[in-house]
Amino acid sequence: MEFLAHFQPIGSPTLLNPFLSIIELIRNVVRPITLAVRLTANLTTGHILMALLGIAFTGRTNIFIRTIILIIGIFYFMFEIVVCIIQRYIFRLISTLYMDEHPQW
């Protein structure tokens, strides 16, 4: 029971403590999984859009359309680099905050 003690909010009613401990335990187990899913989804979305731009560029279109697609692709690639840097910062920050909540791990 000492393991579950830090999952109880301060000042919670005694009758609710077992339920709150279980809910907090589930929340702490699921949190890293949700972070990983969010990061993977964000990275995959960028790759899919880049692939779609590449397919559109190699299609049978005139030079004007290809030039526009190429310019859009270059700007989107730069945007993806910035998003990658921001994602790295956010993932690192969230991981650090998560580790600060559980110093014994």
Please give the structure tokens belonging to residue 75. Answer: 């700007």
**Could you report the per-residue pLDDT of 38-82, keeping only the tens digit for each?**
878 877 888 888 888 888 888 787 889 889 988 998 998 899 899
Residue 48 lies in a domain: yes
Question: What pLDDT, on a 0 to 100 scale, did the predictor assign at position 74?
Answer: 92
Host domain of residue 88: 31-105
Residue 6 lies in a domain: no
H or E, element range at 15: none
Please give the structure tokens belonging to residue 17. Answer: 């403590």
Query: 24 and 7 in contact (C-beta within 8 Å)?
Result: yes
| 18 has pLDDT over 70 | yes
Residue 81 lies in a domain: yes
Say how many domains are in the chain. 1
Question: What pLDDT, on a 0 to 100 scale, did the predictor assign at position 78?
Answer: 93
User: Can you give the pTM of this predicted structure?
Assistant: 0.56
Residue 19 lies in a domain: no
CB under 8 Å to 20, separation ≥6 — which residues? 7, 8, 9, 12
Residue 4 lies in a domain: no
Long-range contacts of 9-16 (CB under 8 A, 24+ apart): none
Query: 4 and 21 in contact (C-beta within 8 Å)?
Result: yes
Residue 20 lies in a domain: no
